[in-house]
Structure formats: C-alpha cells, structure tokens
Amino acid sequence: MRYELIIFDWDGTLMDSVPKIVSCMQAAAADAEWGELEVSAIEDIIGLGLPEAIAKLCPDIDPEQAERLRQRYSHHFVHGDTTPMPFFDGVEAQLARLRERPQQRLAVATGKSRRGLDRVFNETGSGGLFHTSRTADETRSKPHPQMLLEILAELQVPAERAVMVGDTEYDLEMARAIGMDRVGVTYGVHTPARLAASQPVWVAEDVPSLFDWLRHA
C-alpha cells in the first residue's frame, strides 16, 4: 500500500455542495448590498476559508460589509437555503471500503469551519470514517499547507506516505508545497487544465475511477 494516509477535500470532492454554496453566497451578497456575484466567480473561491474567499471574491470590500456578508452567508447555509447537499454517488460506500483496510488512515482538509464540518459529520453520520480533520478556521486557509502539516504530525505519517485529493488548485498546491503527492478530480469546480498545472500524480474524472486508483496505488 503506497499511501498510509489519504487526505480528502470536502466540498466538490466528496460532497456535491457547490450549488448550495453558490446559492448562499449570492443571497449573502444581496443582503450585504455588495451586488450580484457571478456563479463562476463563486466557484473559483470554493475551498478557501470564508474570510479569504470573501476577500478574493469582493475586492476592496470594507471590514463591516465583509462581516455582514460572512454572517448572512452562514445564516443562509445553516437556516435559510434548502438546496440539497448529497454525497457524490458511491462516495460513502467507497470511503467505508477504504476505512476497513488494515493500517489505512483517512483525513479531511477543508475550507469549511469546524462548526460546519462537525455539523455535516453529524447530519450524515460520516465523521467516524475519518481519523482526523482540519478546517480553515482552526489553522491557516488553503493553499497554505499548514493544515496538511498538522494532520501529518498528529497521525505521525511522513509526507511521502500520504496523498491529498481535491477538486481545486488550492488543494493541490498546498500538497505540492510540502512535496506530498496529490490527486485531482475534474467533477468539482476547477478545470482539468488548472488542476494539471499543479502536477498531480493522477486526475480522476469520476468517483469510481478515483477510488479504484486509490485502492490500487
């Protein structure tokens, strides 16, 4: 087994949450009187921590308005928006198969907040599939590699025995920064060309091919 530790991004990699993120961000921008946000612009910042995403999405926004946008996004995501947010087909079963392998460890590195990730863990019952996780509000946001370094240290796994899986360049670049192998998935938000620029060891077009590769790597 090449990789003792597999670290997954969440949104756009394991869970089909992009439509809900887009819907909530558009509603929050309207509430904060920032103006209309294009879908492609919102998709581009998925994976970043929320403060970093707002700063990139809304250049020159003042701190008060940014805080208003942040609060309204959180409100819509938790209470106001009913857009479905399922796992991609087959993800839960495939994760369970990996989890059963002797000495295989799984982790999550996400731009979500700790409260947000714990909420989805509880709602889906998926938290037990992972040995540990890191969120953007308890360490540094992607593409800085700090969350990966913390996961490696906690689980005592060297970078060469781990792989990062994600749908954005932010996922792949934080792994590349510390010499960790990385796998891109093209069914998320960033284009194959954009992922290829980060020199992944594999690019998967769908969930079955992703997990087939991971099982045989």
pLDDT tens digits, 68-113: 999 999 999 888 788 889 999 999 999 999 999 999 999 999 999 9
Is the Cβ–Cβ distance between 147 and 86 less than 8 Å?
no
Do 186 and 201 have their domain in common? yes
For residues 1 and 62, give the distance between their C-alpha atoms in angstroms, rounded to a whole number: 50
Same domain, yes or no: 127 and 70: no
- What pLDDT is recorded for position 198? 97
Does one domain contain both 32 and 116?
no
Distance CA 107, CA 148 (A): 10
- For 185, the enclosing helix (H) or strand (E) is strand 181-185
CA–CA distance, 72 with 98 (Å, rounded to integer): 37
Distances from the Cα of 60 to the Cαs of 2, 82, 181, in angstroms? Answer: 45, 31, 36
Residues 11 and 114 in one domain: yes
Q: Which residues, other chains included, contact 139 with Cβ-Cβ below 8 Å and sequence gap of 6+?
A: 146, 147, 150
Decide which of 42, 58, 80 is a domain's last residue: 80
Residue 99 sits in the same domain as residue 131: yes
Do 192 and 94 lie in one domain? The reply is yes
User: What is the residue range of 49's domain?
Assistant: 18-80
- Cβ atoms of 88 and 187 closer than 8 Å: yes
Of 12, 59, 52, nearest to 191 by C-alpha is 12
User: Same structural domain for residues 50 and 105?
Assistant: no
Residues 74 and 154 in one domain: no
Query: Do 174 and 142 touch, CB atoms closer than 8 A?
Result: yes
Same domain, 10 and 72: no
- Both tokens assigned to 207: 């969930």
**Mean pLDDT of successive 10-residue stretches along the chain, which has 217 residues:** 95 95 92 90 92 92 92 89 92 97 96 93 96 96 97 98 98 98 97 96 97 94
Q: State residue 33 phi and psi, 5-degree precision.
A: 60, 40
Which pLDDT score, from 0 to 100, does residue 76 have? Answer: 92
Give per-residue pLDDT as tens, 52-63: 999 999 998 999
Are 11 and 36 found together in one domain? Answer: no
Instruction: Locate 175 and state its tokens.
Output: 């792994």
Return the active site residues: 9, 11
| Cβ within 8 Å of residue 22, ≥6 positions away | 39, 42, 43
Spatial distance between the Cα atoms of 47 and 168, rounded to a whole number of angstroms: 7
Q: What is the pLDDT of residue 80?
A: 77
Q: In CATH, what number is assigned to the domain containing residue 157?
A: 3.40.50.1000
Predicted pLDDT of residue 87: 97
Going by C-alpha positions, the residue among 21, 55, 52, 56 that lies closest to residue 39 is 21
Residue found by looking up tokens 């990699």 in the block: 13
Q: Are 115 and 174 within one domain?
A: yes
Structural Rg of the chain based on CA atoms: 17
Global pTM value:
0.93
Q: What is the pLDDT of residue 67?
A: 93
Q: What is the CATH number of the domain that holds 40?
A: 1.10.150
Contact (Cβ atoms closer than 8 angstroms) between residue 166 and residue 8? yes
Residues 121 and 191 both lie in one domain: yes
